[in-house]
Amino acid sequence: MPSCLLKLTRVPLGHKPWALFVLIFLFVSFAYIKLYSGIWEDPKSRGTSYGLSTEISCAHSVPSPLNIAGEASPSTGNVFFVETSEQTAPSYLFSCSVESAARTHPGSRVVVLMKGLAKENTSLPKHWAFSLLRCFPNVEIRHLDLTELFSGTPLQRWYLWPLRHWEPYFLPVLSDACRIVLMWKFGGIYLDTDFIVLKNLQNLTNALGIQDVSELNGAFLSFEPKHTFMELCMQDFVQNYNGWIWGHQGPELLTRVFKKWCSIQTIKSMSCKGVRALAQEVVYPIPWQDWKKLFEAVNALELHKLLKNTYAVHIWNKLSHGTKLEIPSQALLAQLYSQFCPATYTKMKQD
């Protein structure tokens, strides 16, 4: 910058306004890039991350209630979580999401894929969440190799375009891409890292959830491998790509494809050609517009009524991550932590 200012003083008088404009443009672009790296960091990876203790005792974590009861999971399909940022310090909600899935799916592998983990390093970073999640024998935490994941799919060329990471919503779009490719290649269940799982999800096959009256959401997906619906989603991702509109590659994509799949104009709870659009209460019982209800107190009767037909609760972390949660309390979210991820909840109380 000093050298640029020095050169500016040597520019002929008639050219100085134009040179000044270029200099300001470069400065604003640099500032935007620095700001961009913070603003568009995936909020799911944010959150208070205490380092008071990196080692967690497993006595209170395993075996899970389903292991004790000796109940078998209906299927051994994988449950996937994906972290596409470089973050390697999971939040309480991240830990709770994985723990609740591990407890409700004791017969399944719960696979956590994190881009920030070193590919060649077999040891995990020293962080309490990794120590806690290692207590569950069905949890596997691995490096996310995006080049390998997208290879052999229509999204391979999309990902390899060198300027892709400059797009404003690159991280959420990358997450949208990962989930549909995972479902197509491997099948199983995909969950965002801001879900708290209440029940085993394996019987919700070839399904996705309705988030409101007009749109589906891909925060939960459950499909058999190589399913045609997921193949169509990959094709639409590339053919109708627009990385400059929030949600265009996510909820809007799934809604577009499902409407074509079923030849309908309006989204509703239904089964069509073997693919189910689940009612809102199944995995999105709290609409995103009402996310503040997660922090409001509810009694036991209200909680039971609210979650009677619910398999998982989406916490809408993009909206809620900055809101203070009292622990312990009768807030809906606090009660969900307490009941469905007790090891994480214990750590929260300690901190």
How far is residue 341's CA from residue 196's CA, in Å, rounded to a whole number?
Answer: 8
- For 286-337, strand residue ranges (E) read 312-314
Residue keyed to tokens 């209460």: 281
Would you state the pLDDT for residue 123? Answer: 87
CB 300 within 8 A of CB 329: no
Domains along the chain with CATH numbers: 75-282 (3.90.550.20)
Strand-pair partners of 190: 80, 221
Return the amino acid letter for 151.
S
Side-chain half-sphere exposure of 74, counting CA atoms within 13 A: 9
Extract the tokens encoding 167. Answer: 């797009």
pTM: 0.83
What is the model's pLDDT at position 159?
A: 95
pLDDT at 56: 77
3-state SS assignment for residue 238:
helix
Q: Could you read off the pLDDT tens digit of each residue along the chain, which spans 351 residues?
A: 444 444 444 545 555 566 566 556 545 444 443 443 343 334 444 444 444 456 777 865 565 444 433 443 444 689 999 999 999 999 999 999 999 999 999 999 999 999 999 887 678 999 999 999 999 999 999 999 999 999 999 999 999 998 888 999 999 999 999 999 999 999 999 999 999 999 999 999 999 999 998 999 999 999 999 999 999 999 999 999 999 999 999 999 999 999 999 999 999 999 999 999 999 999 999 999 999 999 999 999 999 999 999 999 999 999 999 999 999 999 999 999 999 999 999 999 999
| Among candidate residues 279, 294, 87, the one with its CA nearest the CA of residue 175 | 87
Question: What is the per-residue pLDDT for 40?
Answer: 37
